[in-house]
Structure 1
Amino acid sequence: MKEPLISFKNITKTYDNDVNVLENLNFEIEEGKFYTLLGPSGCGKTTILKMVAGFLQPTSGEILFKGQKITDVPANQREINTVFQDYALFPNMNVFENIAFGLKIKKVPAKEIKQKVTKALKLVQLPGFEKRGISEMSGGQKQRVALARAIVNEPMVLLLDEPLSALDHKLRSDMQYDLRELQRNLGITFIFVTHDQEEALAMSDEIFILNDGKIVQSGSPVDIYDEPINHYVADFIGASNIVKATMLEDELVEFTGHQFECVDGGMRPNEAVEVVLRPEDLELTDVATGKLQVKVEAQLFLGVHYEIDCFDQEGNEWIVHSTKKSVPGQWIGLTFMPENIHVMRLNESEAEFDARLESYDE
């Protein structure tokens, strides 16, 4: 097995108020992948990024880089660069001077600096912008300059601290594609911090979801979206319909007063659980043939689909994404496939969840 590029071993970070921002954190980062640290404000994601960069020291535990301890190694001696949320560009320097700054500090020969800056500008799609003043550039162009300044040093790891948060929606979407393509072209490890779920799903090879200083779940975007381990993850990632249920036996669950076939198992008979059904997995049908009968409360047109807000007779709210229109006040039926029902145990940890999934294959 290939050695991880970065390892966090039992990392805890405590500030002056004795509150743990990170608590006994353990995870590994492989080389050449796009990772995203995802979570709400205050969950610890930026603290992790600063520790990888060398701007913060853990209270306890150790950080390894290619198997070597770097917990006490200064930031300027790590093969790591950071793109900050506010770009941190020098307003009194032009584009070339901003990008070349780090190379000049390292006393790289002028001819080599010019070659590296020219190459970096091509990679971020800003060829010919060398003499442009920073004040003359748009937000998206400034973002690209900040990226070029980071990659020109050829780091093994690039850290990105919510770098797209100040951009408008269209430009933000464009930059998501550009960042993903840049990472693939460079082949280096990206660690990206965001609180935007759609951004994380669109860009990442692997996502770490954090809450209260702990990694709640990690995995590919598809795995996390399709198989959230608990209420927090299911509610945080994408739109979800979450209802209380009872797992009667393997592949049979009861909710809203009805029994439904599903594909989950490995739980106790009659165990209290929660069920997740994604809005796009619910299909509109007539009341007679629907597995659920719901009354339409409201409807919004979102371009590619309608978002329909419904309630069943027990008061459970159901959000449906459909290309079919409905009428507020109308009773309709909802149907779904057994594989669309995802059953979650209450308070199940990621380790317990993984063990249960492995048991399915035995």
Structure 2
Amino acid sequence: MPENPIITFENVKKQYEEDVVLKNINLKLERGKFYTLLGPSGCGKTTILNLIAGFTEVTEGTVTINGEKVNDVPPNKRTVNTVFQDYALFPHMNVFENIAFGLRIKKMDTKTIEEKVASVLKMMRLSGYENRAISEMSGGQRQRVAIARALVNEPDVLLLDEPLSALDLKLRTDMQYELRELQQRLGITFVFVTHDQEEALAMSDEIFVMKDGKIVQSGTPVDIYDEPINRYVADFIGESNIVEATMIQDYEISFVGRTFECVDAGIAANERVEVVIRPEDLVLTTPEKGKLTVKVDTQLFRGVHYEIIGYDSEGNEWMVHSTKKATVGEMVGLFFNPEDIHVMRIGETEKEFDARLESYEEE
């Protein structure tokens, strides 16, 4: 945890009449990092953003920015700015006036405004667009204007509420690179909201995975992908093969009627657990060489790999990502290594999960 966080939530709850949308949220955000709140619609991620911005009030708990409690501080007094999903640009103003709007509200002098706007236009590669009407801008250009309008106020924190959702796939990918590079260059804290797991994995220093008003798991993209805490996270972050299993003893697990070596320990003997193996960790081989045998049901070419679906003798579905082609209807073997098996305890809290992972590292 950061020693001097720029933002903290302590036991924060948000409730609208009988509807509890945030439940006991605790988090600390470090300066100069890219954070992503990830989850489906209605999980509470935008509510967290609104609480940081001051657009809504905390029901219980404390929010601090730069070490100061801001529960009752209005949005215009907070050192944060927001880029909205629809950009919220003023259609009757040109690019320059959209960006300068916040500075004029602060009653800055004309020369300072011109210098600051020129600087942020150059940063966002929009020099020469000062007099362009918003209606004449492309989706990517409008997004840059929205970001420029936020950055010109020199915020400590930039909040981004699904700003890429309206863009086409190619532009969306390009803007992911641009946003990440911009954040690293400026060194300010970005808090990004999305339901797109690929977006979160590509851009973030740390991800908070949310469900039903709670933070289910937090960590780096690699941590979240390689060590999901439960079925929900494993399913939400990437493609997963998940089966029920029994922990025989330390480093030994049983699933689909066979016993395998694994790298997990500290779980009770014969405890019921779940196992996740990522599709890219399964290697197609002959039935004789495979640790599992499946019958190929479907195969799709995804450009960089084939996506193969097969079923074992117990009816479990297995997805494989392979550069090797299979034949629908044939029996194939699936090979994997002990470290490819990730064991998930049922009902384990993030605190218990982290303690278990730390115990592995100490051994």
Measured against the shorter chain, the TM-score band is: over 0.9
Tell whether 2:136 aligns with 1:122: no
2:92 matches 1:107: no
- Aligned runs of 1:1-362 on 2, under 5 Å? 2-16=3-17, 18-360=18-360, 361=362
In structure 1, how many angstroms separate the alpha carbons of the residues matched to 2:174 and 2:8? Answer: 32
Q: 1:208-230 CA deviation, whole Å, 9 max, x = no partner?
A: 00001000000000000000011
Over the matched positions of the two proteins, sequence identity in percent amounts to 68
CA–CA distance in 2 between the matches of 1:331 and 1:227? Answer: 30
Instruction: Report the AA paired with residue 5 of structure 1.
Output: I
Which residue identity lines up with residue 192 of structure 2 in the other structure? F
Cα distance in 2 for partners of 1:218, 1:158 equals: 20
For 1:243 and 1:337, how far apart are their aligned partners in 2? 16
Tell me the TM-score normalized by structure 1. Answer: 0.98
Give me the whole-angstrom Cα distance separating, in 2, the residues matched to 1:149 and 1:217: 33
CA distance in 1, matches of 2:282, 2:124: 41
Distance 2:10 2:3 in 1: 17
Deviations 1:52-82 (A, max 9, x none): 0000001111111122111100000000000
How many residues were matched structurally?
A: 361
Q: Which runs of 5+ in 2 are unaligned?
A: none
| Cα offset, 1:240, TM superposition | 0.2
Give, in angstroms, the shift of residue 254 of structure 1: 0.7
Q: Distance in 2 between matches of 1:199 and 1:81?
A: 21
Shift of 1:276: 0.5
For residue 321 of structure 1, report the CA deviation from its aligned partner.
Answer: 0.4
d(CA) in 1 for partners of 2:317, 2:47: 37
Q: Structure 2: how far apart are the matches of 1:161 and 1:125?
A: 22
Residue 308 of structure 1 deviates from its aligned partner by: 0.4
Deviations 1:280-328 (A, max 9, x none): 0000001111100000100000100010011001000000000010111
The structural deviation recorded for 1:119 is 1.3
User: Once the two structures are superposed, what CA deviation does each residue of 1:207-260 show, in whole Å capped at 9, x if it has no partner?
Assistant: 000001000000000000000011111111000000000111111111111111
CA distance in 2 between counterparts of 1:158 and 1:221 reads 20
Q: TM-score scaled by structure 2?
A: 0.98
